[in-house]
Amino acid sequence: MMRYLFLLYGNQLPEPGTAAAEQVLAAYTAATQAMAEAGILISCGPLQPPAATTTVRVRGGETLLTDGPAAEIKEQFGGYTLVECEDLDEALRWAARIPAARRGGGGVPQRTAA
């Protein structure tokens, strides 16, 4: 068995509480539940929006903090899913079920150390 980390990228999600947001949440819940039932899900979770980030840089021994993301981006890193699969082919099949794979560039598995 090998662990794979799916990095979920996409455009900003719909406004919370809207019908569109509920549809997206239902799709993620269904994908996550299927992975849990298959026994491959280790962990998953969303991230705060880029505006909530703090960028840390150390220059000349001084730590500099800046509110917001380090770069202007079109798609944001919105979350992750960590799974354990038999091989890359199985991981790719599961990654294709994640809504971010249809909306952005998510579901791209990266092999991790166990």
pLDDT for 40 = 96
**46 has pLDDT over 80:** yes
Q: Which neighbouring-strand residues pair with 57?
A: 64
pLDDT for 60 = 94
What percentage of the chain reaches a pLDDT higher than 70? 82
> In order of start, what are the domains of the chain with their CATH numbers?
2-112 (3.30.70.1060)
pLDDT in tens, 58-90: 999 999 998 877 666 667 777 889 999 999 999
pLDDT for 112 = 54
Q: What is the pTM of this model?
A: 0.73
Rounded to a whole number of angstroms, the distance between the first and last alpha carbons of the chain is: 9
> Cα–Cα distances in Å, from 31 out to 74, 81, 84?
25, 10, 15
> Cα–Cα distances in Å, from 1 out to 10, 83, 87?
28, 10, 7
Alpha-carbon span 54 to 94, nearest angstrom? 32
Element (H, E) at 35: helix 19-38
26-37: buried (b, 16+ CB within 10 Å) or exposed (e) per residue? Answer: ebbeebbeebee
